[in-house]
Structure 1
């Protein structure tokens, strides 16, 4: 798989139905190793190793309902009190991050109400902090440590 713009991490890999698979430490099982899954698992390791998120305060690939439509977010980080602190949208490395990507995470965040947003394709990362009082956001160089 492609080298991503994250620190180097080790992963449990195996063959699943003659396809490469990667172990998700959050979902506790193997998933087919798609380019997006490669980015997602790097991002999880980044949040744990570099930003000090506890595994117990992260989850991935969960369903939410948005205007009566079921959608799945990639990663959510919680505060110890259960409030959502972070929403992460992962794309495959060959997918450009554009306005449509920002619109997608903004729609998810209308339901989730996170303080921070992260968008990554593994090569480029964007971080935002929401300001709900001013109904705006600011781009950050990185996420604050947890």
Structure 2
């Protein structure tokens, strides 16, 4: 897999029935290793190891309803009051981050009422904070630490 613009971590990779899989510490199982999954696992470990997010507050590929349609968020982190805090949309490293990617996660973020949203392809990362007064998303320089 390609080297990403995220810290390396000690990943557990295996081959199973001809497919390469990576162990997901949140879902506690092996997942087929796609380019998007490679990014997702890196951002999960970044949030855990570099930003102090508690493992117990993560949900990965959790479902949500929007306009009566079932959608999935890549990574969702809750705060200690069990309220959605941060949502991450992951793209494969070779997928350019576009306005459409932001629009997708912005829809989820409004539905879930999160404080922060992140869109990443593992190379480029963009983070926004919800301004509750204006209901607008404001770009910030870095992904916040968990407090």
The TM tier, using the shorter chain, reads over 0.9
Q: Give the TM-score, by structure 1 length.
A: 0.97
Question: Which residues of structure 1 form unaligned runs of 5+?
Answer: none
Secondary structure of the residue aligned to 2:127 is: strand
2:128 paired with 1:128: yes
* Shift in Å, 1:136: 1.1
**What is aligned with 1:103?**
103
Question: Which residues of structure 2 form unaligned runs of 5+?
Answer: none
Structure 1 outlier segments of 4+, above 2 Å: none
Secondary structure of the residue aligned to 2:96 is: coil
Q: How many residue pairs get matched?
A: 146
**What is aligned with 2:139?**
139
In the TM superposition, 1:1-146 aligns within 5 A as 1-146=1-146
Please give the per-residue CA displacement for 1:104-145, whole angstroms capped at 9, x wherever unaligned.
001111211100001000000001000122121211111221
RMSD over aligned Cα, in angstroms?
Answer: 0.8
Counterpart Cα distance in 2 of 1:111 and 1:45: 25
Q: Give the TM-score, by structure 2 length.
A: 0.97
The answer as to whether partners of 1:16 and 1:32 remain within 8 angstroms in 2 is: no
